Structure 1
Amino acid sequence: MMKVPSSFKKEFLKKWIVGLQVCGSLNKNMSVSERKKAIKLSADIAMASARNGSTCWSRALIANASKQDANKLVVEHVLGDDESRKLTKQLPVGTSMALARKIRVIRSKKNILKRRSGPMRRAARKSNSSLSSSCIAKRLVRKRSQVLKSLVPGGEFMDETSLIEETLDYILSLRAQVDVMLKLANATELVTNQK
């Protein structure tokens, strides 16, 4: 099993604490659900920031968080001035417009494919009563790829090879995030029990 370097965990913890401080200073009287959202937001931004924008999922996560005005201050503080400028240069101006364009391109390609597989091809497929195992396997892979693309931030715009690489990196980063959060929770519990 691959391990995440401790430097990533340290960077994540440092940035996560900054995010939590910013969220706490913005709203002192948070409800439980608001606290939960603030913890998740700051943890996700810190995790993406700890990757230094070197992955598609980290850039997509930051871009998605930056879309909402309420999150922009947290994103800027967690990223810091230098990193914020660097990642902003990597993300196209009007990221949401670029994503919309890509979606239109994908939809138009799907429409072209649908036109190619018109009624004549469908009838030919139906006449073949037994589907080959390779067709079934391809369909399964396609369905599972779509599910994976929906789970990984920015996954809907990745090809299969980069999707697998990005997914592995995202899983390792999530595992590191959970490890750090568990250690912090255990340390807090120890301190609380000693009082």
Structure 2
Amino acid sequence: MHVTKEFKKKTFLKQLLLGLHVSNSISNPISIQQRKNSIKLSADLAMAFARGRTHWTHALITKLGQKEENKSTLKGILGRRYEILMARYSCPLLYQKVQRRKKSVTSYRFSYNAQKRRSSALKGSCVRVSPSVVARNLENRRTKVLKRLVPGGEFLNGSSLLSEALDYVISLKAQVDMMKSLWRATQVSSSSNVELVPSAPLQKKDASCTIANSEE
């Protein structure tokens, strides 16, 4: 998977600057907390558009659109596309329905097998837990954590979850790199615009003042 090649940097910068501009125009003056929220919202939305259509980008846009405080900003950023995207991303995907069915069947089988193991353990006097069971429990705990971190990860399992997690992490890294580059560019431009006060005219003015005082 070549995620870095598919991450469109120009699209990211365009959407980020548009989001910041819309946020400033909606609420002016803007507080520090509102500024932080607008930067995060604009950066996440820009990352989703720069990456393209994937499972986690759909889930991320849906999550952003569900928050009431984001609706006005999203309408300003997306324009006519807002209603279309929200209708498209809010509808449950067919893949999510299939994953829900698989998850329900798997959970039923797991609960049935667990009940059988508990009943057999009660019959025996001493039961040793096999290393495979310990490894499976550890894998299940890590999978639950990964599903909470990846947008839309609760509907994914197995290789699809790992693929989406890798894609999401690499896109986050590209987002951070672009934000750092933009911050460095703004710092350089702001430092170059500082006007230095010339020292020679001041010295000449001071000299004329001393001559006038001496003549008096």
The two structures have a TM-score, normalised by structure 1, of 0.79
Aligned pair in 2 of structure 1 residues 180, 62: CA closer, same or farther (>3 Å)?
same
Aligned position for 1:17:
17
Is the Cα–Cα contact under 8 Å of residues 55 and 152 in structure 2 kept in the other structure? yes
Rounded to whole Å, the distance in 2 between the matches of 1:48 and 1:33 is: 23
Rounded to whole Å, the distance in 2 between the matches of 1:80 and 1:169 is: 28
Is the Cα–Cα contact under 8 Å of residues 62 and 89 in structure 2 kept in the other structure? yes
Rounded to whole Å, the distance in 2 between the matches of 1:48 and 1:27 is: 24
Aligned pair in 2 of structure 1 residues 3, 51: CA closer, same or farther (>3 Å)?
closer
2:120 to 105, 116, 124: 124
Aligned position for 2:161:
163
Moved more, 172-181 or 70-79: 70-79
1:114 to 111, 114, 118: 111
* Superposition deviation, residue 18 in structure 1: 0.6
1:34-45 equivalent positions in 2, closer than 5 A: 34-45=34-45
In structure 2, list runs of 5 or more residues that go unmatched.
195-216
1:1-195 equivalent positions in 2, closer than 5 A: 4-5=4-5, 8-52=8-52, 54-82=53-81, 85=84, 87-88=85-86, 90-93=88-91, 110=107, 113-114=110-111, 117-118=114-115, 121-125=117-121, 127=124, 129-194=127-192, 195=194
Is the Cα–Cα contact under 8 Å of residues 62 and 75 in structure 1 kept in the other structure? no
Aligned pair in 2 of structure 1 residues 123, 131: CA closer, same or farther (>3 Å)?
same
Name the SS of the counterpart of 1:131 in structure 2: coil
Cα deviation digits, residues 20-71 of structure 1 (max 9, x gap): 111111111222122111100111111112233x111111111011112331
Rounded to whole Å, the distance in 2 between the matches of 1:3 and 1:116 is: 39
Rounded to whole Å, the distance in 1 between the matches of 2:138 and 2:14 is: 41
Rounded to whole Å, the distance in 1 between the matches of 2:150 and 2:109 is: 27
In structure 1, list runs of 5 or more residues that go unmatched.
none
* RMSD across aligned positions (CA): 3.1
Aligned pair in 2 of structure 1 residues 178, 84: CA closer, same or farther (>3 Å)?
farther
Q: Which has the larger radius of gyration?
A: 2
